[in-house]
């Protein structure tokens, strides 16, 4: 029997989708990226594969998950399997530097960014960009290692501090801080490469903005996530084209606008999660749309995005 194989390393993030697949009677199996083994010459099982590898796996102690996911996807793709969010998607999930290179190639605006290896190079990079700057980890997610610096002295203190945390892959990004006129960013959700909805995310309480229920920030005073039903912006078309070119079927892409209304794309979450409270208020359910997409892919009734040529 053909199944949807869900490759993942975080149980909490697959529960919403397995619940809907159960209800819809779609056969699926979970495939752990934390540990396991496979035979390179063996034919993979029949069905389709959906990769939910996350850039923040190391923060859950799953240090081998990224490389294990990479090896598994090489195997699956070498056997010609249908993989939703395959190798190229994983490449972008695991590296913001790769995301920005891909955005540059697509002509999509992103904040001025320097890629830095070695903490001693952070200050010089910030100096050339000009303060205020955001410093973030190349491989992160959930706001890990994301900090705002208004001047050189505070960045220097940070670099010399015993609390300084080395990025897991050794790479940091120094980025121009985009000051939004109001404290929010917008996250655009895409399923099957198509725009589903925009969610306005309140940033007044910090940079940890993961929408999954399991990531809810304790003590948040008001809803952090608000779905924008009538969102329209030309960036959507640019993102859809970007996703096709990069063979990414499912993603949450974050944008921020400055006070002139210029829009910058700054984070591509290939492993995206939906906020259940915001969805209940708006009556739109990403997980149901995703389950339907997976079902159609399994049954072969929708176009295989991975073979769509630009
Ligand atoms: N260049 C920037 N200008 C303004 N705010 C930013 C910038 N980069 C990141 N942020 C804020 O920090 C949050 C986390 O940064 P992000 O790049 O999305 O990393 P992560 O992958 O950890 O989510 C963003 O959602 C946004 O609120
Ligand atoms: Mg983000």
The answer to whether the CB of 178 is under 6 A from ligand 1 is: yes
- Please state the pTM of the whole predicted model: 0.96
pLDDT digit string (tens) for 242-270? Answer: 999 999 999 999 999 999 999 999 999 99
Residues of the chain with CATH 3.30.1490.20: 113-176
The answer to whether the CB of 86 is under 6 A from ligand 1 is: no
The answer to whether the CB of 82 is under 6 A from ligand 1 is: no
Residues of the chain with CATH 3.40.50.20: 3-93
The domain 3-93: what is its CATH number? 3.40.50.20
What CATH superfamily classification does 180-284 receive?
A: ATP-grasp fold, B domain (3.30.470.20)
Gap from CA of 6 to ligand 2 centroid (Å): 22
Residue 193, phi-psi category: left (phi > 0), alpha (psi -120 to 50), beta (remainder): left
Per-residue pLDDT band at 310 (split at 50, 70, 90) = very low
The pLDDT value recorded for residue 250 is 97
pLDDT digit string (tens) for 25-41? Answer: 999 999 999 999 999 99
Residues of the chain with CATH 3.30.470.20: 180-284
3-state SS string for 66-105: HHHHHHHHHHHHHCCCEEECCHHHHHHHCCHHHHHHHHHH
Q: Residue for token digits 């005073």?
A: 221
The answer to whether the CB of 274 is under 6 A from ligand 1 is: no
d(CA 12, CA 272): 13
Is the domain 113-176 a CATH 3.30.910.20 member? no
Gap from CA of 77 to ligand 2 centroid (Å): 28
d(CA 234, CA 238): 7
Pairing status of strand 28-32 against strand 3-8 = parallel
d(CA 53, CA 5): 13
């Amino acid at each position: 029997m053909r199944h949807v194989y869900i490759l993942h390393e975080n149980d909490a993030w697959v529960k919403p989708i397995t619940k809907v697949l159960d209800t819809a009677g779609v056969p699926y199996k979970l495939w752990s990226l934390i540990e396991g083994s496979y035979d390179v010459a063996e034919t993979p099982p029949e069905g389709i594969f959906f990769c939910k590898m996350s850039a923040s796996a190391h923060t859950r102690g799953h240090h081998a998950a990224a490389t294990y996911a990479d090896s598994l996807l090489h195997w699956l793709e070498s056997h010609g399997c249908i993989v939703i969010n395959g190798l190229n998607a994983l490449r972008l999930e695991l590296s913001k530097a790769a995301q920005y290179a891909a955005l540059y190639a697509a002509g999509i605006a992103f904040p001025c960014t320097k890629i830095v290896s070695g903490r001693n190079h952070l200050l010089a990079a910030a100096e050339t960009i000009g303060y205020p700057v955001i410093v973030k980890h190349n491989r992160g997610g959930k706001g890990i290692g994301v900090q705002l610096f208004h001047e050189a002295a505070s960045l220097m203190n940070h670099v010399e501090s015993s609390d300084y945390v080395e990025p897991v892959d050794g790479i940091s990004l120094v980025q121009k801080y985009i000051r939004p006129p109001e404290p929010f960013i917008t996250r655009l959700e895409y399923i099957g490469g198509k725009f589903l909805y925009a969610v306005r995310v309140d940033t007044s309480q910090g940079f940890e903005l993961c929408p999954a229920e399991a990531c809810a920030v304790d003590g948040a005073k008001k809803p952090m996530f608000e779905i924008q039903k009538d969102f329209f912006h030309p960036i959507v078309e640019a993102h859809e084209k970007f996703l096709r070119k990069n063979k990414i079927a499912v993603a949450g892409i974050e944008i921020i606008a400055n006070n002139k209304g210029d829009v910058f794309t700054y984070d591509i979450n290939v492993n995206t999660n939906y906020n259940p409270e915001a969805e209940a208020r708006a009556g739109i359910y990403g997980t149901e749309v995703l389950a339907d997409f997976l079902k159609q892919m399994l049954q072969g009734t929708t176009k295989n995005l991975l073979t769509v040529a630009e």
